[in-house]
Structure 1
Amino acid sequence: MDIALEECPTKESKNPDTPDTDTVSVVRNLVPSPIRFDMSSGRVRYFGPTTNMNVLTTSNPEKVLERLETHWPICTVLRDVSPDTHDYLMDLYWTWYNSVLHLVHSHAFYHDQERGGTQFYSLLLHVAMLATGFRYADKTSKDIQRLMMSGRFGSTLHEKAVAMAKLEIDSPGGIPSIQAFGLLADIDFNIGKDDSGWLFAGMSLRLVIDVGLHVDPSPLRLSVRETQIRYMVLWACLVNDRYWSLYLGRPTTLKACDIAPTCLSKDFTSLICCGPSGREKMLTTRIYEAQLQLMDLVSPLCDRSGVARPARTTENYFKIVALDEDLHSWYDGLPEDLKWPPQEPNMPMSYFLLQTQYHAAFILLNRPFVHYGDREHAHTAFNAHFTQLSRSVCAENAARIVEVFETYRANSDLAQMFFTGLAHIGTAATTLMGEAVLLTDPVRRGVVISQLRSLREIIALMAPTYPPGHHMVQVVDEFNRSDQLQQNASPRSTAREDSTHQNSRLGNVGRARHVPPYMQDEEQGTQGPPHKRTRVGNINPYLFTPTVPASPSLQGLPCLPPTFWESLDFSDLVFADQGGYSDYGFAWNDPEVTPMQQEKS
């Protein structure tokens, strides 16, 4: 302040034509300029034609004091949570969530809590962390049962956090608000409320822009720890944003072009250094570093599931080959102790998720070229070759995911699995179901069905923690039941299929059968010369009249990717009904009954 006064001209020597210094300062703030940091709040201030005039009115120190006064002890907000239960839930959060996705800096969190700071602590964040820890708690404990709820919320902690979040919207904070909204999004995802979870995720990701985590913080002259925390939260949000895109078909919010190159080019070692400097990185930290690199590598797969599906052309396939090579190069560059199989029996959960994420990336990469019922160009030998290659890659990596989860299941509790594990399992399950539909070899088909049943048991063990798992179990059970019924009736149905196959090619293209005729043509096209299918008139097999649903739609099912169902032909009513996209209530095991015949009967 003294320096500023010395640089200012004195009143005696002041030129009358020179504007006042205060006036210059105000005008400088009103003139549109690039984004600036507001040092008083630690946020980025955006300027526009109307907001410029409100600069002075929005800068109110009383609001900062008012926010400090609301920093009450957590025991006064959650009176039904004992100190032991509080510590138990916080330990669960740090152990099973934050060790996989480094979102909250533990030292900064507790430091601000003890000293009444709000830079890295807020009551909303604290309650959201407790609600997240509740997902992994022992539900047989009486203290935990007192916190349980039925209906919209899984616990009173979740209900309290949502109520506090509504108040937070009126006056959002900084980094704690980003973290709290991100946790609430994951909680809603875990209980099958994808829509509301997406809203919370959107608020969290937009606050990243508002707080300025995407901007180079060098002008702020922050401490090393504060800079590392900003990068840590930014990358956690980037990873979460890509999870929502890869497994729920949502468009990404944070684009690479919106983030400063300095934020993207930082060394991962400094980004994820949560402990004191100079300490050797822990195993979980090195795994998280590899996870960040992998998610950055698969970013081209995000936003690929838009309205227009990617064209299956040679150029696109070569792009897949290039990304395939990058994935293999990434894996080859991993340290030996991070590769598969595990060198130690007590590897952390994040290690297994790193392996399943790697194999799930191959499935997501190759699945657009797999013809799960797509008739377009399926008869050409060129596309059939690409289809067979992509199918083999998807099936092989789905089997690897089963192997990884079976290994983890042998020594650990699947109920404590991180929520992305359910997405990886769902990706593998849909791939195995699609492969089982297309296979004609009974031996290979039996292996795939066995792997699918193994996944069913894994999902069932995760279902107590993640309620959408119950819906997934029902889907897999219904598929296995249909497959078993068809296998039992195979001697009778074989002759029937032989007699009806020729009729279906002459005009009954809309019939529902386990392996539709066009899929049989595709299988034959890989062994002999391609042949064209005969079409009669203007029959459109995709047209159908929806009826009243026979069962509730699986709207809360988060792990059956929309891109998979988009790639299915709607005449393949087996998959359409499993995914909740079909309203017909007919028996799956009778390949001769069409939907219209079932309704008439």
Structure 2
Amino acid sequence: MSETNSKRGKIASLACIQCRKRRCRCDGGQPACAQCQRRGQEGNCVYSATGDRRKRSQKVFDEAMERMARLEETLREIAKGTEASSYLVEHLQNDHTFLESLLRGPQRSEITNNSSQGDTAEIELESKSLTVDAEGKIHFYGDTSNVLRIRQQTTSKAVPPAVSSLTVEAVQIMNPHIDPVIAELLELYFCWQHSYYNIFDKKLFLRDMNTEGSFCSKFLLNALLSHAAHLSDRPELRLEAGDPSTAGHYFYNEALRLLDDELENRSLTTVQGLLLLASKEAGVGKSSIGWVHSGMAFRMAVDLGLHLDSAKLKESGLVSEEEIAVRNATFWGCYLFDQGWSAYLGRPSVIRIHDVGLALPQYHSEPSTKWVPFCPHTDIPVIPINFYPENTLVAILKLYLILETVMTKLDAFRGKKTTTSKNRMRQDYKEFLQSSYEQLRLWERNLPAYLRDTPSMTHPALLMIHTMYHATLIFLFRPFLKVSANSHWPTNSVPNPVQRCQTSARKILELMRKYKDLYRLRRILNLATYVTSTASTVFLALAAIQKNSGSHEPSQESELASCLEFLSDVSVSWFEAIAVHDELEAQISSFHEREQTAEEENRNETSYEALSTFWIPNFDEFLVEFDEGEDWSMFA
């Protein structure tokens, strides 16, 4: 067919009834074509739905295939004749909308354009814009961005994000026989990881897991399973049966395979999945790629406007209450991971609290839930304990806000060492140390009674919160170790850094021992590697300081031995711990060799140099260099 005929055929397929009768060219104009307008027959210009011979879009075809697949699955469930299938039949008989909800799956309802709403749904929040695009995805564009204006010119309709209408019970009906291995991994994840890093709603995730709802995706599920596999002893989950570090290999590779498509169609589950991928990668020694994946999650969170209050979007009917809750949980999860990565690698964080438009969650009256340790194939007692998930998250967030301040200030002080006078720097340090210490003490005093460090505190998340609290105290005081060790600490407004660091390091070991005695360390957060290595830096430093002063405290050796013990236990789940273990062991051996050499040569050798090469995950030089004999009297 010639190009002219081809074009004519395409035009004819859109022709109105009047132009078809007259066999003339029709431009398909709405509400009336040009031919009918020219003849003054606008009222007679109508189009036949059956006359449109255009091929249906790929989207329409895909939706039809999905409906057919859902129908087949429903029929298979009914044919099983089980109790679940009887329940399904009852639902179909009593609820005429139930079948349609099963066949339809997650839908995107169009929002009618009107003059007040414009071409895109836009909410102005303190000179910042949350925008819903043509695919129903929410984005954030700041004041300097032209992207929003460009998209407004090219976008015709806005649609809200897909939300599954199925209930949790319906999901159980649709998939009553979940694979036992998958079920075990899910249980492991939600028991041991989710209570600390709560980045999505568990009920909504499980609801949408088998119904292709918006709160679960194949990418997120595979990322979660690749993470959870490290908590399982099943050899079939490993690439090499005898190597726990290869656990979750298949899930991990599948998540990476799906990642490209996720980045093209980014959503809440993309952000969540990236966080879990990065966490897994940190735990197995792939910090570089983990840093990249976590950074992608943080930037995507800002792109989706998760850092801004979306209440007005709810008022406009653009998002549901469920989605707002998940958006907020995902963002605060990003914030926690971001500060964790910042401390772990000693790099600036991406998300700063002064850029956040969300209200920080606060402590509130919360009924307790029962938490039960899930330890398959072990003899660990299954004793339910009270847990307060929402207030636990509030406590973690408030602690990490202080951590952000501490890390930001430490970075700033490093940069000032060559540009600021020593007197000015000492004064700045004084103010920083006093204010940060008071904030940390206030955090501890304001904890609800059931979140405090008491003998009855046994929930894993609470144990880890308090290890991180003491790690933050170490970050704060560790730069003063050399100063306070070489001279009298001249102020009573804050504790002596040597004593404070030693107390916190010992407290970390005490909490780790308690965790091990209760549950073992097989399924602990990979955060355990970091807090243990942080404690070990204190014990190494104190050993060197004591050696330099001619004193000796035998407890340092037993405490370093405990650090090695815990790192060895954690390494079964998180392989990165073995690298830290080996490096710490090498540093201890090196220290003893230096000590022996100095004794043989009958001299008193400074051992600070041995510390400078120690692998420290938060920042490289933790002993701030001050000239010995400096006047710190003004610090009082």
Q: TM-score, normalised by structure 1?
A: 0.68
Given candidates 580, 584, 594, the residue that maps to 1:472 is 580
Deviation string for 1:394-417 (max 9, x for gaps)?
A: 122111111111222222221211
Residue 301 of structure 1 aligns with an amino acid whose one-letter code is V
Partner Cα separation in structure 2 for residue 155 and residue 356 of structure 1: 30
Shift of 1:56: 5.3
**Runs of 4+ in structure 1 displaced over 6 angstroms?**
21-30, 60-65, 146-153, 270-275, 377-388
- Find the partner of 1:228 among 321, 325, 342: 325
**Which residue in the other structure is 2:601 paired with?**
493
For 1:264, the equivalent position in structure 2 comes to: 359
Matched with 2:393 is 288
- Give the drift of 1:240: 1.1
Query: How big is the shift at 1:302?
Result: 2.8
**In the alignment, does 2:487 pair up with 1:335?**
no
Q: Quick one: structure 1 residues 350 and 92, their matched pair in 2 at CA, closer, same or farther if it must change by over 3 Å?
A: same
Aligned to 2:351: 254
Q: What residue in structure 2 maps to residue 426 of structure 1?
A: 533
Partner of 2:84: none
Counterpart secondary structure, 1:253? coil
Which residue type is aligned with residue 178 of structure 1? V
Give the corresponding residue for 1:237.
Answer: 334
Alpha-carbon distance between aligned partners in 2 of 1:159 and 1:247, rounded to the nearest angstrom: 25
1:415 corresponds, among 516, 522, 531, to: 522
* 1:469-517, Cα deviation, whole Å (9 max, x unpaired): 11111122223323444555665333xx16xx8xxxxxxxxxxx53679
Matched, 1:561 2:620: no
- TM-superposed deviation, 1:269: 4.4
Native 8 Å contact 1:228 1:271 kept in 2: no
Are the aligned partners of 1:460 and 1:470 in contact in 2 as well (CA < 8 Å)? yes
Counterpart of 1:369 (choices 475, 480, 487) is: 480
Instruction: Rate the CA distance shift 1:444–1:386 in 2: closer, same or farther, 3 A.
Output: farther
Cα drift, residue 335 of structure 1:
3.3
Change (3 A) 1:469 1:294: same
**Does the 8 Å contact 1:245/1:303 carry over to 2?**
no
The aligned counterpart of 2:499 is 392
Aligned CA distance change for structure 1 residues 54 and 391 (closer, same or farther; 3 Å): same
Partners of 1:158 and 1:439 lie apart in 2 by 47
The answer as to whether partners of 1:103 and 1:236 remain within 8 angstroms in 2 is yes
Partner of 2:136 in structure 1? 41
Corresponding letter in the other structure for 1:137: S
In structure 2, the residue matched to 1:596 is: none
1:171 corresponds in structure 2 to 265
Shift of 1:110: 2.0
State the distance in 2 between where 1:452 and 1:489 align.
21
Q: What's the TM-score once normalised by structure 2's chain length? A: 0.64
Contact 1:356/1:404, CA 8 A, preserved across alignment: yes
- Compared CA separation, residues 34 and 298, structure 1 to 2 (3 A): closer
The alpha carbon displacement at 1:566 in A equals 5.5
- 2:420 aligned with 1:315, yes or no? no
Return the alpha-carbon distance in structure 2 between the equivalents of residues 162 and 274 of structure 1.
35
Q: Which of 183, 193, 198 does residue 102 from structure 1 map onto? A: 198
Contact kept? 1:148, 1:155, Cα under 8 Å: no
The Cα offsets for residues 22-61 of structure 1, whole Å up to 9 and x where unpaired, read as: 899868999x985133175141253844653344545689
With over 3 angstroms needed to count, the CA separation of the structure-2 counterparts of 1:35 and 1:270, relative to structure 1, is farther
Checking the alignment, whether the CA contact within 8 Å between 1:148 and 1:154 is kept in structure 2 is no
C-alpha displacement of 1:224: 3.8
Matched residue SS, 1:302 = helix
Output one character per residue of 1:80-107: Cα deviation in whole Å (capped at 9) or x when no partner.
xx91111111111111111211112111
Highest relative contact order (Cα 8 Å, sep 6+), 1 or 2?
A: 1
Give, in angstroms, the shift of residue 334 of structure 1: 2.4
| Structure 1 pair 282–28 and aligned structure 2 pair: CA distance change class (3 A) | closer
Secondary structure of the corresponding residue to residue 466 of structure 1: coil
Counterpart secondary structure, 2:209 = helix
Question: Residue 508 of structure 2 contacts residue 535 of structure 2 at CA under 8 Å; is this kept in 1?
Answer: yes
The 3 A distance-change label for structure 1 pair 304 and 322 is closer
Q: 1:499-538 counterparts in 2 under 5 A?
A: 514=607
Residues 138 and 144, structure 1, Cα contact 8 Å, conserved in 2: no
Deviation at 1:250, TM superposition (A): 2.0
Letter in 2 for 1:177: T
From 222, 229, 232, the equivalent of 1:137 is 232
Q: Compared with structure 1, are the counterparts of its residues 264 and 25 closer, same or farther at alpha carbon in structure 2 (3 Å cutoff)?
A: closer
Check conservation: 2:396, 2:465, Cα contact below 8 A.
yes
Q: Unpaired segments of 5 or more residues in structure 1?
A: 1-20, 66-73, 75-81, 502-512, 520-541, 543-552, 570-601
User: Larger C-alpha radius of gyration, 1 or 2?
Assistant: 2
Alpha-carbon offset, residue 235 of structure 1: 1.4
* Mapped partners of 1:157, 1:304: distance in 2: 39
The match for 1:182 among 267, 275, 284 is 275
Q: Distance in 2 between matches of 1:399 and 1:190?
A: 24
Q: How far 1:202 sits from its partner (Å)?
A: 1.0
Instruction: Give the equivalent residue in structure 1 for 2:301.
Output: 208
Q: Deviations over 1:189-229 (max 9, x none)?
A: 11111121111111111121111111111211244433322
Shift of residue 131, structure 1, vs aligned partner: 0.7
1:393 alignment partner AA: R
> What SS does the corresponding residue of 1:306 show, helix, strand or coil?
helix
State the Cα deviation string for residues 411-463 of structure 1 (Å, max 9, x = none).
22212110112111111111211111111367653211211111111101111
The 1:24/1:84 distance shift into structure 2, 3 A limit, reads: closer
C-alpha displacement at 1:158, in angstroms?
1.0
SS in 2 for 1:254: coil
CA 1:272–1:36 in structure 2 vs 1: closer, same or farther (change >3 Å)? farther
Instruction: Find the residue that maps to 1:357 and give its secondary structure.
Output: helix
> In structure 2, how many angstroms separate the alpha carbons of the residues matched to 1:28 and 1:285?
35
Letter in 2 for 1:157: F
8 Å Cα contact 2:239/2:246 also seen in 1: no
2:562 corresponding residue in structure 1 = 454
Task: Note if contact 2:121-2:158 (Cα within 8 Å) is conserved in structure 1.
Answer: no
> Cα gap change, 1:171/1:447 in structure 2, threshold over 3 Å: closer, same or farther?
same
- Preserved contact between residue 237 and residue 248 of structure 2 (Cα < 8 Å): no
Q: Specify the alignment match of 2:406 in structure 1.
A: 301
Between the two proteins, what is the percent identity of the paired residues? Answer: 20
Provide the rounded CA distance (Å) in 1 between the counterparts of 2:265 and 2:395: 36
Separation in 1, partners of 2:116, 2:158: 22
Give the corresponding residue for 1:509. Answer: none
Matched-pair contact (CA < 8 Å) for 1:131–1:155: yes
CA contact (8 A) 2:136 2:158 kept: no
In structure 2, do the counterparts of structure 1 residues 477 and 224 end up closer, same or farther at CA, with 3 Å as the change threshold? same
| 1:25-174 correspondence to structure 2 within 5 Å | 34-38=128-132, 41-44=136-139, 46=141, 48-49=145-146, 52-55=149-152, 57=154, 83-118=179-214, 120-139=215-234, 141-142=235-236, 144=238, 155-173=249-267
1:225 aligned partner, one-letter code: E
Conservation of the 8 A alpha-carbon contact between 2:223 and 2:251: yes
Change (3 A) 1:387 1:475: farther
Provide closer, same or farther for how the CA distance between residues 319 and 129 of structure 1 changes in structure 2, counting only shifts above 3 A: same
Q: Distance in 1 between matches of 2:146 and 2:320?
A: 34
Please name the residue that 2:12 is paired with: none
Using the TM superposition, give the Cα deviation of residue 352 of structure 1 relative to its aligned residue in structure 2, in angstroms.
1.0
**CA distance in structure 1 between the partners assigned to 2:362 and 2:245 by the alignment:** 45
Shift of 1:339: 2.6
Over aligned residues, Cα RMSD in angstroms?
A: 4.3
Are the equivalent residues in 1 in contact too, given 2:131–2:138 (CA < 8 A)? yes
SS at match of 1:215: coil
The one-letter amino acid paired with 2:336 is V
Cα separation, 2, equivalents of 1:468 and 1:329 = 34
The equivalent position to 2:285 in structure 1, one of 192, 195, 202, is 192
Aligned partner of 1:531 in structure 2 is none
